[in-house]
Structure 1
Amino acid sequence: MSDTLFFETFAKGKKEAKALKRSKDCVIYTRVSSQQQADNLSLATQLKACTLYAEKMEYNIAATFGGTYESAETDERKQFTAMISFVKKFKGKVSYILVYSLERFSRNDNSIWLTNELRRLGIEIISVTQPIDTSNASGQMQQKMLFLFGEFDNQLRKQKCMAGVKEMLLKGDWPTKPPVGFDIIRVNGKRKIVVNSKGRLIQQAFHWKANENLTAECIRERLAQKGFKIGRQQMSRVLRNPFYCGLMVHTMLEGKVVEGNHEQLIPRDVFLRVNGLIKDNSHGYSINEENAAIPLKRFVSCGHCGQPLRGYIVKKKNIHYYKCNTKACNNNKSAKELNSFFEKILNAFKVDKAKDIIELIKRQTIAVFNQLSAGKQDDYQHLQREHTEIVKKINRLEERYIEEEIGGELYNKYRDRYNEEKVEIEKKLTKLSRQVSNLDESVGFVVKFALELPLKWASADYNTKQRIQFLLFPKGLSYNKKTDECRTTRINFLFLYLSYFQQIITNKKRGIPELGLDYSSFEHWVPRAGIEPALP
């Protein structure tokens, strides 16, 4: 035994790493920077050159990525990211990334770092038109220099391009694709930005927001009914973009606002009202957006034309009113009277005559809810089983590919198909999972809340009153001045059932007369599960 063996624990420095074994498997990545390049033979040329190189070197092509146009300024590219994830996942199996030239791989300062990270995993980037031996320091330096030249070329192009973009903006011409609702057309050879069919719907959305003060979610629902689906974030961006009122803002303008040459969608005062910068206050009365004296505004709609009632105060009389803004509708009502009428409606949901059997009410309500949602629970469990199965299929597919039971073509074909099925199942699971997660506590809260419902509403602030109103009547109420009646199309199930059950056990068959519901019509609103209390 060597005398130095005992001293190895005091040695410094890392032991020399074992050389990574390289396989013959590779992936091909092709890319162009624009749609115009994608339309010509550039992609086909890149793919052909990489394929011939792989055949020459006797490499096995595990997968092909790219085949589209993606900017190389950043690494946030779908195909590029997918390719990097793939080679990292199958490190030790895939040893080479073939590109037509290094600039096709990346043209930013992150490329050198990423190349080093891949090299540590035993993955080498090979440019088939720039043969460099990266197995030594000299070759690696040459590769880094080419990456740096690519980034430098990018910066020069960007500088020239940005100067042109800024000049266009200052002249009032939008240089890129316009926001949703606009199209680019050519008139006598000149480029013009005009409003399209979606733009006309967005125009309505602005007026809904300005005149009715609808929430973005309500606006999205209305647009969806008209066939235009738009996401929450995009809806918010649209309502805050001055492009729609004929003005342009851009980071290249350095804080300036420029009048655009594009077609104007809405007046500027409408845009300002939508964003809360000016108030419509030209009719001799003032508007307070959060006034506890008029909590029913926009919650109660006109029973004649369907438009939401607005609230205002007549300064001379110091009296609040609700009013429909539709011309010649004349559906106005004293706020004091309509508020009092709403309190009477709330009394129908107040649990006061059956306090001694509240526990039975809670148990019966839970029993009915569980019975009604039983089918959805079965569907949810079925979807969970389907999700488990599709995940197993995806894992098995990857195992078969790693073990070389199937080739890259079959792997890519079934991987895409299985992933699409998985995404669709997950969407359905998300939809069905939107149920009450803690039913006992929820029902208990509703019953406790219902004990003093009218008092809680009367003493609450504006926002709390609005929440209570929409909690009971998700679709709001309508008021008809001619008949002096309120109506609704939907009542919260739990509160409705409490009122229904309480009337049964107290033998008061009166329904809710304030909403035009007698006992016989009232019971049809509540799904029946038997009126006997659930036994322990």
Structure 2
Amino acid sequence: MTQFPTTNLPNTQRGQKALIYCRVSSLKQTIDGSGLDSQEHRCRRYAEQHGYVVEKVFTDDVSGGGDFLKRKGMVALLEYLRRRRTTDYVVIFDDLKRFARDTLFHLQLRAQMDRYNARIECLNFRFEDTPEGKFVEIIHAAQGQLEREQNGRQAVQKMCARLEQGYFVFHAPIGYRYEKVGHHGKLLVLNEPYASVIKEALEGFASGRFQTQAEMRRYLEGCECIPKNAKGQIAKKRTADLLKHPAYAGYVEHERWGISFRKGQHEPLISLETYRKNQERLNGKPLVPTRKDLNKEFPLRGFVVCGDCGHPYTASFTKGKTKYHPYYVCQQRRCDSYGKSIRRADLEGAFETVLKHMTPSKEVFALAMAMLKDQWNKREEIQSTQEKEHQKALAEIEQKIEKVIDMMIDANSDIVRQNLTKRLAQLEKEKLITEGQINATAQPLGSLESIARTSLDFLANPRKLWESERLEDKRAVLKLAFAEPWAYHRNEGARTPNFSLPFKALDEISPPQKEMVPRGRLELPRA
């Protein structure tokens, strides 16, 4: 049995009350190992040999670097001592490094312990209240800080080396997880179902399906698999972080460590073009956010406007004798329709009639498909032209890179070299983006039906998407089918809507007598 050095306490101090503090550097050590258990066991044996009575044990599973007040276990220990400052305690540590691996924080923590009349004892170090003892104690604390900073430096160097090779080294973004893959070691791999949800959100923002970050955030909040806070919400900053994260496009970057934008080793979730569009939208003029009070009960609120004044209707439930009744109403005081309610069934029924008349006949849709296919086939020529333009742009960028490198070699000023280094990093990023555009244009187009199946289904029958239970689908119908808000008069009914370009085109090629398509799935014409 291991014998610890004794403190030679007089018998009158046997039965001294003691507290134990144990700490490991990470939660993984707590789960996978027995670090905390072994520390507590050793400390209890030490207390038993010295005749101490252990009153409570405090633990932490965070790193020793930084402010000790950020450690929950240490904060709880200090608070315990503060509330019982009339009682003299012995605080037992397994190792001096568990106390504080930072010289400044070590001294501050010692002062806190002294303030609460607590005596510190350590299994591998003896505290002495002498000038020599204090000097040795500070040297040991400084040594612990040196080891911590050296370990941190080595960790950063290894992470930088991995980043330079294209490996993502930080906490896996949502939609990914780490997995050991052959010679790669730990590599980001897609993690379903999160990956598909994030992909749809990022591509939806790039395409304009989500006009604002708020709409994208509400979509994510409606997905059960996405983690949220206690209120079932997602923070605003988190949405922006998702859109800015280059890892989703298959790239890595860390400016603070000098790692420029470069191709990653992991599989991308979205294309580089989609990522670029999202950055342009983030840096552009923000759009007016969608109203927060949209809900499934009134999907047309904010879209349908008053036929008299042109302001959007609001909506609410009015209490009747036995139940509540839903109404749309104009709240513009100078409007002739101010305060006049419209039954939800009447207004939304009129809207569904408009959608019904938007459904083209089979003949019209077949003709439109034939015209669309003809234009689709011509895209190969356009694609070839775009590829040549991108190749020309790539050659110009490479020439600029060569010039910047020559200027860096001839530069005599450190400031000039720093500016040229930044310019070189920007050109390298532009080169990667242009190469991504070339790869995108080099991909075969495929058939129109296989690529645009969802869009064609919508054009064939927009009412089908409107009948979805999801509010996002209903809002998509309003954005995709109409060029501007729809006006409805409380007495005269629906005004002529202004449809979006695709439905205008279908209307222009329609014969005078329109044949309505029966309910059910419309089969697309096959080549």
TM-score normalised over the length of structure 2: 0.51
What is the aligned counterpart of 1:73 among 50, 55, 65? Answer: 65
Q: Which amino acid aligns with 1:111?
A: H
Q: By how many angstroms is 1:268 displaced?
A: 2.1
Query: Which residue matches 2:204?
Result: 208
**In the TM superposition, what is the alpha-carbon distance from 1:171 to its structure 2 partner?**
0.8
Q: Is 1:152 aligned to 2:146, yes or no?
A: yes
Equivalent runs, 1:34-73 vs 2, <5 Å? 34=26, 37-38=29-30, 39-66=32-59, 69-73=61-65
Residue 266 of structure 1: SS of its match in structure 2? coil
Q: For the residues of structure 2 that align with 1:22 and 1:252, how far apart are their CA atoms?
A: 55
Q: Which among 142, 159, 162 is matched to residue 136 of structure 2?
A: 142
Shift of 1:288: 8.5
Which one of the candidate residues 218, 225, 237 is aligned to 1:221?
Answer: 218
Q: CA deviation at 1:72?
A: 0.6
CA distance in 1, matches of 2:168, 2:242: 16
Deviates further, 107-116 or 91-100: 91-100
Hey, what's the Cα distance between the residues in 2 that align with 1:123 and 1:218? 55
In the other structure, the counterpart of 2:174 is 180
Residues in 1 aligned to 2:186 and 2:150: alpha-carbon distance in whole angstroms: 27
> What is the SS of the residue equivalent to 2:174?
coil
Conserved? CA contact 1:22–1:122, under 8 Å: no
Going from structure 1 to structure 2, the CA distance change for 1:119 and 1:515 (only over 3 Å counts) comes to farther
- SS, match of residue 96 in structure 1: strand
> Secondary structure of the residue that 1:257 maps to in structure 2?
strand
User: How far did 1:209 drift?
Assistant: 1.9
2:161 partner letter? E
Displacement after TM superposition at 1:170 (Å): 0.8
Post-superposition offset of 1:94? 5.7
8 Å CA contact 1:349, 1:453 repeated in 2:
no
| Preserved contact between residue 223 and residue 229 of structure 1 (Cα < 8 Å) | no
| Residue deviations 1:469-521 (CA, integer Å, cap 9, x gap) | xxxxxx9x97845559x9999xxxxxxxxxxxxxxxxxxxx9946788xxxxx
Q: Counterpart of 1:391?
A: none
Kindly indicate whether the alpha-carbon contact (under 8 Å) linking 1:99 and 1:126 is maintained by their aligned counterparts in 2: yes
User: SS where residue 92 of structure 1 aligns?
Assistant: coil
Percent of aligned pairs with the same residue?
Answer: 18
Q: Aligned-pair distance for 1:99? A: 0.9
What secondary structure is seen at the aligned counterpart in 2 of 1:275?
helix
Q: Corresponding residue for 2:18?
A: 26
SS of the aligned residue for 2:156 comes to helix
Cα distance in 1, alignment partners of residues 46 and 77 from structure 2: 19
Relative to structure 1, the CA distance from residue 154 to residue 269 in structure 2 (aligned partners, 3 Å threshold; closer, same or farther) is: same
Checking the alignment, whether the CA contact within 8 Å between 2:15 and 2:53 is kept in structure 1 is: no
In structure 2, what is the equivalent of residue 163 of structure 1? Answer: 157
TM-score between the two structures when normalised by the length of structure 1: 0.50
**Amino acid of the structure 1 residue aligned with 2:18:** C
Contact 1:22–1:92, Cα closer than 8 Å, also in 2: no
Unaligned runs of 5+ in 1: 1-20, 280-286, 310-321, 323-337, 351-364, 373-445, 457-474, 490-509, 517-536
Establish whether residue 117 from structure 1 lines up as the match of residue 112 from structure 2. Answer: yes
Please show how residues 84-99 of structure 1 align to structure 2 within 5 Å: 84-93=78-87, 95-99=89-93
Between 1:98-107 and 1:152-161, the stretch displaced more is: 152-161
Letter in 1 for 2:19: V
Q: Distance in 2 between matches of 1:515 and 1:141?
A: 90
The residue type equivalent to 1:224 in the other structure is: E
Q: Secondary structure at the match of 1:256?
A: strand
What amino acid is the match of 1:70?
Answer: V
Partner of 1:234: 238
Give the distance between the partners of 1:177 and 1:160, measured in 2 at CA. 18
Match in the other structure for 2:273: 269
**Paired residue type of 1:42:** G
Unmatched 5+ residue regions in structure 2? 1-12, 229-233, 324-328, 339-347, 359-462, 470-487, 495-527
Query: Partner of 2:374 in structure 1?
Result: none
The Cα of 1:46 is off from its aligned counterpart by 1.1
Q: CA deviation at 1:368?
A: 7.7
Q: CA RMSD in A?
A: 5.0
Secondary structure of 2:172's counterpart equals coil
Deviations along 1:395-449, one digit per CA (max 9) or x if unpaired, are xxxxxxxxxxxxxxxxxxxxxxxxxxxxxxxxxxxxxxxxxxxxxxxxxxx99x7
